[in-house]
Structure 1
Amino acid sequence: MWAYTVGFTVLPHVGGFLGWFLNRKEIPAWYEKLKKPSWCPSRKMFPVAWTVLYTGMGYASYLVWSDLGGCSSKAIVPLGLYGAQLALNWAWPPFFFGAQNLNMALIDILCLDGLAIGTLCSWYRINRVAALLLVPYLGWLAMATCLTIRIWRDNPEQKAGKRE
């Protein structure tokens, strides 16, 4: 059973790592030139925060999966919401850093917010610990959404993405 625990806990890190790896060259070159608010966290904070958040949400997904008896019909909605929000989470860095498309990054994170809230609400009835493990993630998403909105607003020349 430990293999399932590890697998579910590691899964969110896979997309997070790939997003960083594929976009790592764009981060210092492009991101540093953007106008950002004074409350923007240091770049050094992001990998630490995401490591903690991905670990918590991955373990929480294991708890829900386990409580629902695996991939049963009861798991379709709660784990489907989780999978959809995770996909949008993984899509944000390629939109923001890769395509440098602030419009798509903003649309992505607003949809992500809704799915993450839906995930927490659906998990609360199944496993309250799992739902509570998502609370820090929702807090960080709220900050990231506000940051994305501010960067989108303050950098109008970057809204449509890279220009050839």
Structure 2
Amino acid sequence: MASEWLRIAGAVALPNICGNRGYYMKNPEVKEWASRLNWPHWAPRAIFPLTFIPLQSISGYASYLIWKEGGGFNENTMLPLGLYGLGLALNFLYTPITFGYRKLGLASVCMLAYSGVHAVTTYLFWNLDKTAGKMMIPLNFMLAFTTVVAVDIWKNNKKPNHVSED
């Protein structure tokens, strides 16, 4: 029973570790650069940490359900869990691309790819376990919103001598 709780805790923690922005946002130079971005007025910055942590936790639990109900990592779960892992990798890459390398165009492409991969993963989860599929849906909406915000930030920060390096 204790090992089951550890598996659940790991599944819930993993997407939050992959999306951790703490290192970059504690760096004073990064904070100053980010504060100069032309940010869309319709997208409050505070919404991101308030929504991503619970939504990624829920998707992590959904991945656990797929793993558990599917009998582990096997031919039935390989594609959905593999795509889920690809989404985690894209989520992990987004932060250093944006805040480390300051490549806003590439960051937008990365977020679009993550959003698409997550949508396909949701469909595959749904086919294996309806509950897990339903748990993935809210993050799809947030990723779509985040993609639009990322593209808007890229578009509005392309001026010469501005914040973007693209």
TM-score, structure 2 as length reference: 0.88
- Does residue 84 (structure 1) correspond to residue 86 (structure 2)? The answer is yes
Please list every run of 5 or more consecutive structure 1 residues that lacks an aligned counterpart in the other structure: none
Deviation at 1:93?
Answer: 0.9
Could you tell me how far apart the structure 2 residues matched to 1:48 and 1:38 are? 18
Amino acid at match of 1:156: K
User: Partner residue of 2:134?
Assistant: 132
Deviation at 1:86?
Answer: 1.0
- Asked if the contact 2:112–2:147 (Cα under 8 Å) also holds between the matched residues in 1, the reply is yes
User: Partner residue of 1:29?
Assistant: 32
- Report the secondary structure of 1:134's partner residue: helix
User: Partner residue of 1:73?
Assistant: 75
C-alpha RMSD over aligned residues:
1.6
Equivalent in 47, 50, 54 of residue 49 of structure 2? 47
User: Partner residue of 2:11?
Assistant: 8
Could you tell me how far apart the structure 2 residues matched to 1:20 and 1:89 are? 14
- Report the secondary structure of 2:77's partner residue: helix
Instruction: Show CA shifts across 1:53-94 (max 9, x none).
Output: 121011010001111101112111000010001110111111
Aligned residues: 159
- Asked if the contact 1:23–1:93 (Cα under 8 Å) also holds between the matched residues in 2, the reply is no
Instruction: Show CA shifts across 1:101-135 (max 9, x none).
Output: 01210111111121011100111111111111111
- Report the secondary structure of 1:73's partner residue: coil
- Report the secondary structure of 1:125's partner residue: helix
- Asked if the contact 2:24–2:99 (Cα under 8 Å) also holds between the matched residues in 1, the reply is no
- Asked if the contact 1:23–1:98 (Cα under 8 Å) also holds between the matched residues in 2, the reply is no
- Does residue 143 (structure 1) correspond to residue 136 (structure 2)? The answer is no
- Structure 1 residues 52-63: aligned runs within 5 Å: 52-63=54-65
Equivalent in 91, 103, 113 of residue 101 of structure 1? 103
- Which range moved further: 23-32 or 72-81? 23-32
- Does residue 20 (structure 1) correspond to residue 42 (structure 2)? The answer is no
TM-score, structure 1 as length reference: 0.89
Could you tell me how far apart the structure 2 residues matched to 1:128 and 1:160 are? 43
Equivalent in 148, 155, 158 of residue 157 of structure 2? 155
Identity %: 31
